[in-house]
Structure 1
Amino acid sequence: MAKRKLFGLILTAGLMLSLQANAALPPGDKAPAFTLPASLAGHEFSFSLAKALKKGPVVLYFYPAAFTPGCTIEAHDFAEAMDQFQALNATVIGISMDQLDTLKKFSVSECRNRFAVAADESGSVSALYDARQSHDTHAARVSYVIAPDGKILLSYENRSPDEHVSRTLAALQKWKADSSRH
């Protein structure tokens, strides 16, 4: 009997930890405000979510590490789609736990000078967005679309970089269509 209770407690604790480690913030929640050092086309600046939202919706995507195969693919995909994001008046910002010097190079070569990337070296913003891998040294691959009012429209978590761009574009297009009807 004691072994069964102990097993049940261990199983429950393990399940709760796995849910917490991979639970992106849900649509409808208010996006946590933050400011981070960032780079666009190799030039350093301070990115503020609050300021970006004053201009329109924001696509916020977390990725594990600059210059890794999946993150490079994802950066190329976002760069290629920037005309579509700009047509929807959306700001795109990628966030990793890399150092800013690394991201300055990544913003030029892999982001192709088309969108900014921010350095969350401490992982504090990744933690706010439940986008931190369980071992805490890298961000998870999580994408968010945030409306100008600060509400999360989409949260999408998938280790594969393949659908992050198409899903964020679809969420923006739906938001724009819904907004124009009101």
Structure 2
Amino acid sequence: MEPGQEAPDFEAESSKGSVKLSSFRGKKVVLYFYPKSFTPGCTREMERFSELYDQFKQNNAEVIGVSADSISTQKKFAEKYGNKFPVVADKEKKIIASYGALNEKGTSAQRITFIIDENGKIVEVLRKMKKAEEHADKALEIVTKLSSSG
């Protein structure tokens, strides 16, 4: 998926109950994919999104994390680190695949972040940042710019 394209809708179980992407219309959504819960990079990334979560909310944005982990793993991961936003279990990798975020082996998600506008269009895609947690900072920067420009 690339900027300008419609973000594929999905409904899935998350650490905070069922999540449907289209139910966030009218808000910006930061949808980030990560390889595996409880690994160092993914943990730092989630913690950073959590630290910045209130600032995302101030900019009318929701954060959703997605990995191929099971729902029980996602709930434990979110609970252990006091996560404030939903992390989605995509064990069948349908959501990951629909965003073109599968790794080369097809076993898990790549670390990719999509910034989606209020109308469900992808406005920015973040790939290959130096550090996992930089996804959160860069996403917030983009969301803040979108808020001030429109």
TM-score normalized by structure 2? 0.95
Please tell me whether the aligned partners of residues 46 and 133 of structure 2 are also in contact (alpha carbons under 8 angstroms).
no
> 1:61 — aligned with what?
32
| Aligned twin of 2:117 | 147
Show CA shifts across 1:56-102 (max 9, x none).
Answer: 11110000000001000101101111111111121101000000000
Q: Deviation above 6 Å: which 4+ runs of structure 1?
A: none
Instruction: Give, in angstroms, the shift of residue 113 of structure 1.
Output: 3.2
For 2:36, what is the secondary structure of its paired residue?
coil
Query: What is the RMSD computed on CA atoms of the aligned residues?
Result: 1.1
Q: Contact 1:79 / 1:115 at 8 angstroms: preserved in 2?
A: yes
Indicate yes or no: 2:50 matched with 1:50: no
SS at match of 2:113: strand
Matched residue of 1:93: which SS? Answer: strand
Residue 34 (structure 1) shift = 0.7
CA contact (8 A) 2:47 2:83 kept: no
Check conservation: 2:46, 2:83, Cα contact below 8 A: no
1:27-106 paired onto structure 2 within 5 Å: 27-40=3-16, 45-54=17-26, 56-106=27-77
Q: Contact (CA 8 Å) 1:146, 1:152: kept in 2 or not? A: yes
Q: After superposition, what is the alpha-carbon deviation per residue over 1:124-160, rounded to whole angstroms, capped at 9, x for unaligned?
A: 1101111110111110000011001011111011263
Aligned length: 149
Answer 1 or 2: which has greater helix percent.
1
Q: What amino acid sits opposite 2:146 in the alignment?
A: W
Structure 1 residues without counterparts, runs of 5 or longer = 1-24
Deviations 1:18-42 (A, max 9, x none): xxxxxxx2211111111111113xx
**Aligned-residue identity in percent:** 38
Q: Which residue of 2 aligns with 1:116?
A: 86
**What TM-score does the superposition give when structure 1 sets the normalisation length?**
0.79
Q: In 2, Cα distance between the equivalents of 1:53 and 1:158?
A: 28
Q: Which moved more, 1:74-83 or 1:162-171?
A: 162-171
